[in-house]
Amino acid sequence: AQSVTQPDIHITVSEGASLELRCNYSYGATPYLFWYVQSPGQGLQLLLKYFSGDTLVQGIKGFEAEFKRSQSSFNLRKPSVHWSDAAEYFCAVGGRDDKIIFGKGTRLHILP
């Protein structure tokens, strides 16, 4: 069965520090992978997506993610976080049926 695991419920980093949010997935075929961000009380915004090709994908707001098939992972990274990056981040996996399975999210806190 398809599933997505985000092992960290909360992460706290200092402003200007680097960030890595972990995501592991289970999927029987080549997956479509996504990272979304959600500010409190808002909808989800797509940060980046991986369908095929280069395993390092660039997204909006300075984020990137790397697809590692051998580890079934799709971790999100940013070299230097800003206070405005505080939000909840969702990793998701999809396939050809146009349904997406979401992880439970990681809430990012930024220390000034």
Partner 1 sequence: SQTIHQWPATLVQPVGSPLSLECTVEGTSNPNLYWYRQAAGRGLQLLFYSVGIGQISSEVPQNLSASRPQDRQFILSSKKLLLSDSGFYLCAGNRGAHEQYFGPGTRLTVT
Binding site for partner 1 (CB under 8 A): 9, 32, 34, 36, 41-46, 49, 51, 90, 94, 98-100, 102-105
Contact 6, 74 (CB under 8 A): no
Cβ nearer to partner 1, comparing 40 with 112:
40
Q: Both tokens of residue 75?
A: 């971790």
Q: How far is the CB of 63 from partner 1 (least distance, A)?
A: 15
Q: How far is the CB of 104 from partner 1 (least distance, A)?
A: 4
User: HSE-up of 40 (CA within 13 Å, CB side)?
Assistant: 5
What H or E segment, with its residue span, contains residue 66? strand 64-68
Contact 111, 11 (CB under 8 A): no
What H or E segment, with its residue span, contains residue 36? strand 32-38
Cβ nearer to partner 1, comparing 54 with 112:
54
Q: How far is the CB of 36 from partner 1 (least distance, A)?
A: 8
Cβ nearer to partner 1, comparing 61 with 79:
61
Cβ nearer to partner 1, comparing 19 with 44:
44
Q: How far is the CB of 9 from partner 1 (least distance, A)?
A: 7
Q: Both tokens of residue 78?
A: 């940013």
